[in-house]
Amino acid sequence: MRTRLLLCVVALVAALCSVAPTAAQDWTKKSPAHVPGKRLYPAMAQFSNASQFGRSIDVVMFGGLNLGPSGIFTQFNVLGDTWVWNDTDWTQVSLSGSPPPRYGASMAYFPGFKDPGTGAVLVAPVTVLFGGRDAAGNYLNDTWLFSSRIRCGSKLNCTKTFSWTQVATTGTRPSGRLGASMALSATLYQTLFNGTFGQGIILTGGFDGTANLHDTWRFDAGNNTWLPDVTVVGEYFPGRSYTAVATCSGTNNGAWLFGGFTGSFTAPLVDTWHHHGPRVGENPHWDEIFPTSSPSPRFGHGMAFYPVASTDVLYGGQGFNSFTHQGTLPTDTWTSACADWTQAAPAHNPGAKSFQGMTTGPNGLSVVLFGGNSVAFPQLASGLTPNGRDSNETWTWGRRAACLPSPGSEILVGSEVICRFDASEDITFNGWSAQSFAPPVADELVFAFHTESPGTASITASWFDENGPQSQAFTYTIVRPKK
């Protein structure tokens, strides 16, 4: 009899079992077998397979700046490598036709669009990279698409391929810049966006070599063009770079922006803005938000959407202490449902980091953070002189056990639920069990459960930690498709 499941099924064991709070979220340091080189300013975003709409969503990272060995003040290595994170390990992907090396580029994921009536794929999923700065100091304004495809000769013979494709953009497009921010802004551009129902990527801010910018652009993945948000009312001011923008969900759809850099290390920004247009026919616009609580002023922070909790997660960056007149590197974590800010109290954190890569993790079940710098800028009076304190650490944020779609949902017969367990050195994962789903065939940390018959269904994760056996159940209602 298999003993991998430590379920509380008898009274004696039940006295020892506890259910982990569903709201508990924490940072976990990962120990992958393969690790990219240390860096700051990388571009990171989700990507998925164009041939499998809505499935196999992983994370891609491109480029960045490597600061060389510790103590060396003159070595700057601009990177042009491509890495894929699958929630367990990093894999370097060597591709012909990759973008030229750069740092400070912007990247975001477009999840594709289906016809709501027929289910036909109208626009395939794609990941968009824009701009950055190259080793010669040029501010770039090129656009690249990253995608993957699975081809199967048989059920047991499948290969995954990756590709970079440069977009031959003509006409209007954003000016060259680094330190801009990109995010999916689920605003209803139903007319303005050529029928893609607003699942549009926006790009905003950045530094063009002369000024920090406050313009906003949107990318139409249907025909690979950039359009300025010329109708935006109430654009945010002042212009800024090294801010962070992340997707909002639910009734507060759009995108959420916080802070940034205006050119002064002593005056980082602390304002919050919401990019949205929640009604059909309403122009996209920015609204300044005045939350009751807020992170401290900062720039170079990371922010990403965490679908499991429907919140944005903010971490790190650089601030300024007006008493000591020195730069600071806050290590606090904040969350927001695009209405206010709440400071989290995780048991762990990634430590001092600024200019790290940070994005929604594979399948939306986590947030992943990579790299960053652990010393405040500038370090010498002569200017920006980092000393090799960049990182190659990988951290993830989220609940110990998580599933999507969200527990409590109605799901269709024939659909699937993807679940993830975030393992660490001091926790033993004992596997999954399921009711009204096809039973799991392996104790995998990430597993896709396929629905069976209509009715109440559940998925349970079990593990063992310092407090003993633990379990958490996720319940669903399976229904038949409407005719």
pLDDT at residue number 119? 67
Torsion of CA 353, 355, 356, 358, to 10 degrees: 120
Distances (CA, A) of 256 to 103, 195, 251, 278, 428: 23, 24, 13, 14, 37
pLDDT at residue number 75? 72
pLDDT at residue number 382? 57
**Adjacent-strand bridge partners of 360:** 367
Q: How far apart are CA 300 and CA 295, in angstroms?
A: 13
- Give the CB-side neighbour count of residue 385, counting CA atoms within 13 A: 9
pLDDT at residue number 180? 97
| Segment 183-234, tens digit of pLDDT | 988 654 333 333 344 457 899 999 999 999 999 998 888 888 898 875 565 5
Q: How far apart are CA 448 and CA 360, in angstroms?
A: 18
Q: How far apart are CA 290 and CA 259, in angstroms?
A: 13
Residue 388, token pair as written in the block? 């090799």
13, pLDDT greater than 50: no
pLDDT at residue number 20? 41
Length of the chain: 483
Cis before 21 (ω within 30): no
| Segment 356-379, tens digit of pLDDT | 999 999 999 999 999 999 988 876
- CB distance 401 to 122 below 8 Å: no
pLDDT at residue number 234? 57
279, pLDDT greater than 70: no
| Segment 45-77, tens digit of pLDDT | 999 876 665 567 899 999 999 988 766 656 789
Domains belonging to the chain, first-starting first, are: 11-22+402-479 (2.60.40.10), 25-399 (2.120.10.80)
Residue 354: pLDDT band (50, 70, 90) is very high
Q: What are phi and psi of 379, to 5 degrees?
A: -100, -25
pLDDT at residue number 459? 96
Q: Which residues contact 273 (CB under 8 A, 6 or more apart)?
A: 236, 256, 257, 258, 286, 287, 288, 289
Average pLDDT in the chain: 85
Q: How far apart are CA 314 and CA 170, in angstroms?
A: 35
- Which helix (H) or strand (E) covers residue 84, if one does? strand 77-85
